[in-house]
């Protein structure tokens, strides 16, 4: 399975999970954005007062789960706003290429 279809499958799984529970009507842009921030902060908690190596050693599974939570809410926000994340990421990367050109040493 290629990357594009993997991401499509993940997206559809998330949206189906939400829809089967009737949660879509409660998900507005503000609350989804807040949830992304909250989950990102839960991700950061794993690293508080530790080196990166210690955090990964001690909390790798929790780090993975918090990363997943961030993506879950981001996909739902993109769905709510009818945003094609793949397209927006590629456009942003093109802007980044201009802003941060490769420096030849």
Cα dist. 26→14, 52, 83 in Å? Answer: 15, 36, 19
pLDDT band, very low/low/confident/very high, at 3 (cuts 50, 70, 90): low
| pLDDT one-digit tens code per residue, 18-47 | 999 999 999 999 999 999 999 999 999 999
| pLDDT one-digit tens code per residue, 63-89 | 999 999 999 999 999 999 999 999 999
pLDDT over 60 at 1, yes or no: no
Of 73, 65, 68, give the one whose Cα is nearest residue 28.
Answer: 73
- Asked if 88 contacts 75 with a C-beta cutoff of 8 angstroms, the reply is no
- Asked if 46 contacts 59 with a C-beta cutoff of 8 angstroms, the reply is yes
Cα dist. 52→44, 45, 55, 61 in Å? Answer: 11, 12, 5, 14
């Amino acid at each position: 399975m290629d990357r594009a279809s993997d991401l499509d499958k993940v997206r559809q799984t998330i949206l189906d999970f939400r829809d089967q529970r009737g949660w879509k009507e409660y998900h507005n842009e503000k609350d989804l954005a807040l949830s992304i921030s909250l989950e990102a902060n839960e991700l950061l908690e794993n690293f508080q007062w530790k080196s990166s190596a210690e955090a990964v050693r001690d909390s790798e599974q929790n780090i993975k789960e918090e990363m997943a939570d961030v993506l879950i809410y981001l996909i739902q926000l993109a769905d709510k706003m009818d945003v094609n994340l793949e397209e927006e990421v590629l456009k942003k990367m093109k802007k980044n290429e201009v802003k941060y050109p490769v420096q030849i040493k």
